[in-house]
Structure 1
Amino acid sequence: MKTELDVCLGKSGIPVGKLVFVRNGPRVFTQFAYFQDWLDHTDTFNVSPDLTATPGYQTRKPATKEDSLFFLALADTEPDAWGRRVIARAHAKRREEDSKLGALSELDYLCAVDDFSRMGALRLRNAYGAYLESVPAGRRATPPLLELEKMLASSRAVELGKESAQDLAYLRGKATSLGGMRPKCSILDEEGYLALGKFPSINDERNVTRAEVLALKLAALAGITAAKAHVAVVQGTAVAVIRRFDRTPQDARIPYISGATLLQANRQEEHAYTEVLAVMKGVCANYVVDAQELWRRQVFNHLITNVDDHLQNIGFLYMGGNQWQLSPAFDINPMPDKDRESKTWLSEDTGPVTSMSQLLGQASQFALTREHALAIVREVVEAVLQWRAVGQSADIGMTTQELNEFASAFEHSSLVEAKKLSGL
């Protein structure tokens, strides 16, 4: 089987190249070739770090079964685990009615993401000129915020294994590339901006949706550029509404890659922030600013026990002129039942982040003097110390009991150490 699709860029859909999906028995691989017009374009750039700007087809064969079949910037637009779950359930329902339908391929999953909300600026177009996945003219696949109630009910049905074909038809395609197994959907917020709606799971033991908004608000207080977020209450249920940062107010699409893509990292390998820094030096327009922000985020993550800081949870936005910048922080969650040990190592020599002294010991690698690093620690500590007040604010609305369930994520020996270091 061989399927060819055009890869296009941005709101205007500039043709960039040809994607070819090939399945020959057990052998499955993909190829990509840039169009000559794109190579000659005045604003041309490598849309993925693993695709060099040269004529002819380049082939991608994943190193392991866990790695994507697609070149990495395209892989960043694949549905996450929740999206795959919805797509697979919908396909299973269709197979019950049509036994001739075959199993889903990785290309099917990639193409099932709604074109309107596909992450970044890359878009897929078939031989008929239709963007994948798109809906009939005049209908927007991403529903308004008022339909959160319906999305919540459909997502809950999927979690319970009681979903109808209508539930799956409603959710299919509205998945996201950001964020694992938790129920979520692409939505439009109250101001009409593309956003991510994250729902509570039936397995939650705490109010994790309000806590994620709390973390993002605290990050902003700590001087971190973070995704804008608020809590929407749907029939008594808190939903985290997190605005997407890969769109402009005019709905233009901003190219996006993950930290894993920047590093061309295998999904099963351990990697370090210092490795990311080494690549950032060559591609980031404001390297020093981004490097210092990356260190600030590590301090913040450590002090709120956000330990799921894998490379897919670090992002970069394209600025033009072959240069990138660190994207706003996202997917930040306090985890009171976890050890304070980062997923991504601080450096290849030190291993994961486990203490404030370790972070300070590596601050110079992030373009920081000790004095500047201590000033950042003070700003982060001052923000984190407000966690209860911010959590109880009208914007977030956590109860005392809900806050107590997260206390160990915020109140611990590392915070005491950070306060001493910063003179608080």
Structure 2
Amino acid sequence: MGYLRRGESFELDPVSLALGERESIRGKVLFPVNGLGEFGGIRDAAPDAWGRRVIEARLKAPANGLLEVEYLLHAGGDRVGALDVREDIKSPDSASASDMHSLEYVLQASEAVENGAPVPTNLERFLGSGPSAGGARPKASVRDGDGALWLAKFPANGDRFDVARAESCTLELARRCGLTVPEVRHQDIGGRPVMLIRRFDRYWSQVGQKPPEGALHDTRPGEGRIEGRLPFVSGLTLTACSELESPDKTYADLGRAIHKYVHLDRVKADGEEMFARMVFNIFVTNDDDHLRNHGFIRDPRRNGWVLSPLYDVVPHPVLASERRLHLGVGEHGKLATLDNALSHYAAFMPARPTAIGIMRRVWGEVREWMTCFEEHGADKKLLDQLSRAFRDISDIASPGLEAEIRRGT
């Protein structure tokens, strides 16, 4: 009830905890929608698979041996989004990110966790960086010399190619396609490839001022500036479903969620970008496009939700000529073709020519993927390993649609 009285309060979960009718919910017990076991906005602040493993290693607990509230408490102050969880209001901040200079030690600690080995005593303090971000792969939050927060993504056992280089190059390719991508770096740490990506849920602005127009993830620390936290919810939350229900959802569901929950100023641009991301995923065979890999942040300049920058995009080389994404694409389910994507364009934008133009723009960049990858450090071995992931337009478009897309080039 005290939260509702705060002037700066907002919905932590725009689906289950909407604040449009504050008086109607004051003093009432609220429950998650659709019979979910937890509120999505709180679930998004909890550690995912990798973070849980790190917490278990730090507390010397067996796999899944802690109460859910313990995982939530131990995720640390650098967790994704603006929500923090502490034992009480007087508990100190538990910021956990290491600095860039300690990255090799963080990597070594992460390798011990992944291998199920005891973490050496001298490395235990570097485990605090690990629980702050989602996903199953090894990763940790780190701060650069200026204090900006980054996510470091490490190699995993069983990698068949340099995933760090592949992901960083793919994100740079997505940037060329006009998609919103944070700053990305690739570093060699102790002979191991590591990708670094700016955390888009943090921004820097002058004390007492809203941040300037432009990309919040591009703001930098500086004199008189403080770090702000951006609320974050996943696609799971905005589509009001559980992890198990994610494969039953579609890109059109995300498109409808954008029209319902995103700030009016951004509905058009974000709807078109979501469609472009689907098309991009089809071209590069990114079939790990589940709902946790789509996110939304709350923009303090608009006091509303907007589509987050792109993240977790890795090509998947496969032999099959007929491919599917995790989420439904169109009338033919998950089938990864441009015709299928076009069948549901109206969930993202009103005009079919706009959808065709987006396909044309994405194809125009993706067909030069090798050049982009080479410019960002990919060697011939990696190009050969990834070549089966990238689709030629004739593989994923009917002759009529291909001709329509080509006409504008």
The residue correspondences of 1:239-250 to structure 2 (distance < 5 A) are 239-249=194-204, 250=226
SS at match of 1:379: helix
Query: Is 411-420 or 330-339 further displaced after alignment?
Result: 411-420
Deviations 1:28-70 (A, max 9, x none): xxxxxxx33x313333322112124422353558989xx7x54
Structure 1 residue 309 corresponds to structure 2 residue 289: yes
Contact 2:233–2:297, Cα closer than 8 Å, also in 1: yes
Structure 1 residue 214 corresponds to structure 2 residue 169: yes
Unaligned 5+ residue runs, structure 2? 20-24, 205-225
Residues 232 and 322 of structure 1: CA distance in aligned 2, closer, same or farther (over 3 Å) = same
Query: Is 278-287 or 375-384 further displaced after alignment?
Result: 278-287
Contact 1:84–1:109, Cα closer than 8 Å, also in 2: yes
* TM superposition shift of 1:127: 2.8
Query: Is 202-211 or 122-131 further displaced after alignment?
Result: 122-131
Q: Which residue of 2 aligns with 1:278?
A: 256
Q: Which has the higher helix share?
A: 2
The residue correspondences of 1:182-261 to structure 2 (distance < 5 A) are 182-189=137-144, 191-249=146-204, 250-261=226-237
Q: Which residue of 2 aligns with 1:146?
A: 101
Contact 1:230–1:241, Cα closer than 8 Å, also in 2: yes
Contact 2:104–2:189, Cα closer than 8 Å, also in 1: yes
Q: Distance in 2 between matches of 1:222 and 1:183?
A: 28
**Counterpart code for 2:262:** C
Q: Distance in 2 between matches of 1:284 and 1:52?
A: 13
Selected match of 1:43 from 8, 15, 20: 8
The residue correspondences of 1:362-401 to structure 2 (distance < 5 A) are 362-393=344-375, 396-401=376-381
Selected match of 2:26 from 55, 59, 69: 55
Q: Distance in 2 between matches of 1:334 and 1:414?
A: 19
Q: What's the TM-score, normalizing by structure 2?
A: 0.82
Could you tell me the percent identity over the aligned residues? 31
* TM superposition shift of 1:179: 4.1
Q: Which residue of 1 aligns with 2:305?
A: 324
Structure 1 residue 356 corresponds to structure 2 residue 321: no
Q: Distance in 2 between matches of 1:353 and 1:404?
A: 25
Q: Which residue of 2 aligns with 1:86?
A: 54
Residues 414 and 331 of structure 1: CA distance in aligned 2, closer, same or farther (over 3 Å) = farther
SS at match of 1:141: coil
Q: Kindly report the root-mean-square deviation, in angstroms, between the aligned alpha carbons of the 2 structures.
A: 2.6
Residues 235 and 414 of structure 1: CA distance in aligned 2, closer, same or farther (over 3 Å) = farther
Contact 1:283–1:322, Cα closer than 8 Å, also in 2: no
The residue correspondences of 1:127-138 to structure 2 (distance < 5 A) are 127=88, 129-131=90-92, 134=94
Q: Which has the higher strand share?
A: 1
**Counterpart code for 1:246:** D
Deviations 1:212-265 (A, max 9, x none): 101110111000012321101112321010111111123100111111111211
* TM superposition shift of 1:71: 1.8
* TM superposition shift of 1:387: 1.7
Residues 208 and 179 of structure 1: CA distance in aligned 2, closer, same or farther (over 3 Å) = farther
Contact 1:378–1:419, Cα closer than 8 Å, also in 2: no
Q: Which residue of 2 aligns with 1:296?
A: 276
Q: Which residue of 1 aligns with 2:85?
A: 124
Q: Distance in 2 between matches of 1:91 and 1:392?
A: 43
Count, aligned residues: 369
